[in-house]
Amino acid sequence: MRQQSGYARRVEESLLRRAGTVSALYAILLAMLVAGCSQRGWYEGVKQGHRHQCSQVPEAERDECLAQHDESYEEYRQKREGIGE
């Protein structure tokens, strides 16, 4: 078996990460279709995408990243409609 160069290994790792991201996006799209593409479904799909992105950041930054996307759909809806003011 041939030894990979550092560059080839980094390219392969990058492609594998991208494949994981694409798979997550397909999962989000499927979830939205199953949810009937309701506003809540869209919101939850986007939120899941953000969670997936947070899983890709260094562990030291992960909690802060997740906290930025921790708002429930009801909280989001109330802010959007101006109910929470």
The predicted-structure confidence for 17-27, as pLDDT tens digits, reads as follows 666 676 777 77
pLDDT at 58 over 60: yes
Q: Evaluate whether 54 touches 69 at the Cβ level (below 8 Å).
A: yes
pLDDT tier at 39, thresholds 50, 70, 90: confident
Which run of H or E residues covers position 44? helix 39-55
The pLDDT value recorded for residue 45 is 85
Please state the rounded mean pLDDT for residues 52-81.
89
Instruction: Please tell me which residue, 52 or 36, carries the higher pLDDT value.
Output: 52
Task: Tell me how far apart the alpha carbons of residues 47 and 73 are, in angstroms, rounded to a whole number.
Answer: 9
pTM of the model: 0.50
65 Cβ neighbours under 8 A, 6+ residues apart: 50, 53, 54, 57
